[in-house]
Amino acid sequence: MKMSLIVAIEPNPFESKQQSFLDALLAQTMEPERFEFIMVDSAVLPGEAERAEHFERFQRAHPQLRMQRLLGASGARSLRHNLGAAHAGGDLLVFLADDFEPVPHFLEAHADFHELNPDPHAVAVGPGLFDDALRQQPFARWVEDSGQIFGVPFRRCAGAWPRNYFYAGNASIKRSKFESLGGFDERFATDAWDDYEFGLRFAASGGYSQVVTEAIGIHRHAVSYEERCQTMEQAGEAARVLEAAHPEVSRDWPWLKPPSEIVQEWSVDADLLRLDAWQRGLNAAFRQGYERAGADAMPDGLQQPSDR
């Protein structure tokens, strides 16, 4: 089974992300001829020229790796993931966040899952985990352990996995299944909820996922409260796009409710008052983006953009 590892470069306005996936390719236990690496960048994102130079140097130094770098027309993650998939030659597509460093057996773990489960509807989801140094920061530990950052608490969910879950951070899907669903919806203009929307269509088509705990991506991102607030604003805007695309979906978003109505599992070593303040701030950011986008976020007849 040939694999295509696709990494879409995403905005980093807080300069808090470390992109170390290139060196991690060399450490993969999978033979280089069994996979290809596709990096999808965009000229609208700062630092594109420097990333291009680094990529080309790395490619020249390691000719045994099959690599290609694509340039998308916009900063939309959905569009660049679709662009990478359109140029992929593998039977299996592996989507990896640009701030996830794959452990050495990462690709092998994804491949093993699909070889053991050839069902075209099956998707493997790998965890994104902060390293110990980042987990020393109370906010980073809270967003990871509570599931705030990816929607599920990866360190605690293996025994009760939501089979309809999908995210673009660390997931592998058979190319035939991805193409049958039409890829990601390119109306999502940021890196928020495009994968959630894809997961709705994926589950409705009979798709299901399973967490593969060995397929770890080390999350090299010193995420801050201020940064998460910005992301939650984008999520609020994306919620309007989702509502327009899926009018059947409930609009009872938990972030629009008072925090007292939200059931949370707090870290035992955390200050509850501080956690409550963080939760209220993130909810307020989501509400701000949601209200700014308004009910007319997606007019009838809007065409999806594409640079493929």
Q: 256 lies in which domain range?
A: 226-301
Residues of the chain short of pLDDT 50, as ranges, are 262-270, 298-308
Tell me what pLDDT residue 301 has. 37
DSSP three-state, residue 180:
helix
How far is the C-alpha of 84 from the C-alpha of 68, rounded, in Å? 9
308, part of any domain: no
Phi then psi dihedrals of residue 273, to 5 deg:
-65, -40
Answer yes or no: do 149 and 252 share one domain: no
186, part of any domain: yes
Choose one of 223, 240, 266: the last residue of a domain: 223
Phi then psi dihedrals of residue 115, to 5 deg:
-70, -35
123, part of any domain: yes
Q: Which two tokens stand for residue 258?
A: 């008072």
Q: Which two tokens stand for residue 85?
A: 């998939």
How far is the C-alpha of 248 from the C-alpha of 146, rounded, in Å? 28
What single-letter DSSP state applies at residue 17?
A: B
Query: Residue 166: which of 125, 135, 194, 136 has the closest Cα?
Result: 125
How far is the C-alpha of 201 from the C-alpha of 92, rounded, in Å? 19
Phi then psi dihedrals of residue 95, to 5 deg:
-95, 130
Question: Any bridge partners for residue 174, and if so which?
Answer: 92
Answer yes or no: do 143 and 48 share one domain: yes
How far is the C-alpha of 25 from the C-alpha of 212, rounded, in Å? 19
Answer yes or no: do 166 and 261 share one domain: no
Question: Any bridge partners for residue 172, and if so which?
Answer: 94, 124
Answer yes or no: do 116 and 262 share one domain: no
Tell me what pLDDT residue 260 has. 57
Choose one of 199, 223, 247: the last residue of a domain: 223
Answer yes or no: do 251 and 279 share one domain: yes
Please report the DSSP string for 94-158 in residue order.
Answer: EEE-TTEEE-TTHHHHHHHHHHH---TTEEEE--EEE-TTGGGSHHHHHHHHTSTTTSS-TTT-G
Choose one of 223, 253, 281: the last residue of a domain: 223
Distance between the two ends of the chain, CA-based, in angstroms? 25
Answer yes or no: do 280 and 186 share one domain: no
How far is the C-alpha of 203 from the C-alpha of 199, rounded, in Å? 6
Answer yes or no: do 155 and 241 share one domain: no
How far is the C-alpha of 123 from the C-alpha of 119, rounded, in Å? 9
Tell me how many domains the chain contains. Answer: 2
- In the numeric block, the tokens 């999908």 are attached to 166
